[in-house]
């Protein structure tokens, strides 16, 4: 089974150019010129990856991201941002994107990022490991996560982060290590993506994400999983 990529981009030349490169790489491409069309095609084709432009006619890429993430927790979402403002990137990530690329981008870089997130996801899917502590349970076979028996839906990247943290309770994990393990060794984005994902993760699992007690910040280093068995 090939990897299905939904590409939502209203600019014909960028869409065609990206498509040619992804097809050459062996991906199956489903293309949409608008957010509405993208959502519709996602329902029909159930893609593994969505590449979303932000500025679209009708509903924008952020909105598409939110809808797709709600419907398909396991889909890998990469945002294409035309602007360089960090606020755009962060807004996209908080709505559930796994990664972003700033336009103009090199299709090679997009391919690397897709592969790197998928590699993590696929490797872990073969793993039947269950990690548990007094509050949380992570089941890597079904890729599900529970807090006090209640399931919390996590994105592929969030699951990879949680796995790394729970495997190393009490240990300070650096941002570099997180990027290596949760995004893949060839990840070339910036470290800010780690903090944004952590913020999103905390809002899902902490009782009070402004005073986190499970995912603790280690100043100048990274993060630590505080919950012991
Ligand atoms: Ca556009």
pLDDT tens string 122-160:
654 455 688 888 899 998 878 899 999 999 999 888 998
The alpha carbon of 7 and the centre of ligand 1 are apart by a number of angstroms equal to 12
How far is residue 101's CA from residue 81's CA, in Å, rounded to a whole number? 6
pLDDT at 37: 97
Asked if 136 and 73 sit in the same domain, the reply is: no
How far is residue 204's CA from residue 218's CA, in Å, rounded to a whole number? 20
Domain count, the chain: 2
CB 119 within 8 A of CB 129: no
Asked if 13 and 118 sit in the same domain, the reply is: yes
Among 71, 87, 122, the domain boundary falls at: 122
pLDDT at 2: 81
Measured from the Cβ of residue 36, the count of other Cβ atoms closer than 10 Å reads 17
Neighbours of ion ligand 1 (CB under 5 A): 10, 53, 55
CB 80 within 8 A of CB 100: yes
The alpha carbon of 60 and the centre of ligand 1 are apart by a number of angstroms equal to 9
Asked if 118 and 132 sit in the same domain, the reply is: no
Give all strands of the β-sheet with 172-174 in edge-to-edge order: 172-174, 222-225, 215-218
CATH number at residue 216: 1.10.10.10
The alpha carbon of 107 and the centre of ligand 1 are apart by a number of angstroms equal to 16
Q: Any alpha helices (H) in 25-150, and if so which ranges? A: 35-45, 61-71, 86-94, 107-125
Domain that residue 160 falls in: 128-225
Structure tokens at 80: 């294409």
How far is residue 200's CA from residue 89's CA, in Å, rounded to a whole number? 13
The alpha carbon of 216 and the centre of ligand 1 are apart by a number of angstroms equal to 38
CB 101 within 8 A of CB 7: no
Beta-carbon contacts of 103 under 8 Å, excluding residues fewer than 6 positions away, are: 14, 80, 81, 82
Residues making up the chain, counted from first to last: 229
The alpha carbon of 76 and the centre of ligand 1 are apart by a number of angstroms equal to 20
The alpha carbon of 64 and the centre of ligand 1 are apart by a number of angstroms equal to 13
The alpha carbon of 62 and the centre of ligand 1 are apart by a number of angstroms equal to 12
The alpha carbon of 156 and the centre of ligand 1 are apart by a number of angstroms equal to 26
pLDDT at 112: 87
Share of the chain above pLDDT 70, in %: 88
Structure tokens at 154: 């996590």
Low-confidence stretches of the chain (pLDDT < 70) are: 1, 83-92, 120-128, 185-189, 228-229
Among 101, 122, 143, the domain boundary falls at: 122
The alpha carbon of 130 and the centre of ligand 1 are apart by a number of angstroms equal to 42
pLDDT at 92: 66
The alpha carbon of 53 and the centre of ligand 1 are apart by a number of angstroms equal to 6
CATH number at residue 100: 3.40.50.2300
Asked if 155 and 190 sit in the same domain, the reply is: yes
Max intra-chain CA distance, the chain: 54
Question: For the whole model, what pTM was predicted?
Answer: 0.68
pLDDT at 65: 93
Q: How far is CA 14 from CA 96, 105, 150, in A?
A: 24, 10, 43
């Amino acid at each position: 089974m090939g990897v299905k990529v939904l590409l939502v981009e209203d600019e014909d030349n960028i869409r065609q150019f990206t498509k040619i490169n992804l097809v050459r790489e062996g991906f199956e491409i489903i293309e949409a010129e608008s957010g509405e069309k993208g959502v519709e095609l996602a329902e029909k084709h159930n893609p593994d990856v969505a590449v979303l432009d932000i500025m679209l006619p009708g509903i924008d890429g952020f909105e598409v991201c939110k809808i797709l993430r709600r419907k398909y927790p396991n889909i890998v979402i990469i945002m294409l941002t035309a602007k360089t403002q960090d606020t755009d990137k962060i807004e996209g990530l908080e709505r559930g994107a796994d990664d972003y690329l700033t336009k103009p981008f090199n299709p090679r870089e997009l391919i690397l990022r897709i592969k790197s997130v998928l590699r993590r996801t696929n490797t872990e899917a073969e793993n039947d490991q269950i990690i548990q502590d007094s509050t949380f349970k992570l089941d890597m076979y079904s890729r599900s996560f529970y807090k006090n028996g209640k399931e919390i839906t996590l994105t592929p990247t969030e699951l990879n982060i949680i796995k790394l943290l729970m495997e190393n309770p009490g240990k300070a994990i650096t941002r570099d290590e997180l990027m290596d393990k949760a995004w893949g060794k060839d990840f070339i984005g910036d470290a800010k993506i780690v903090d944004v994902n952590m913020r999103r993760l905390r809002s899902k699992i902490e009782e009070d994400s402004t005073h986190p007690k499970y995912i603790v910040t280690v100043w100048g280093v990274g993060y630590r999983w505080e919950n012991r068995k």
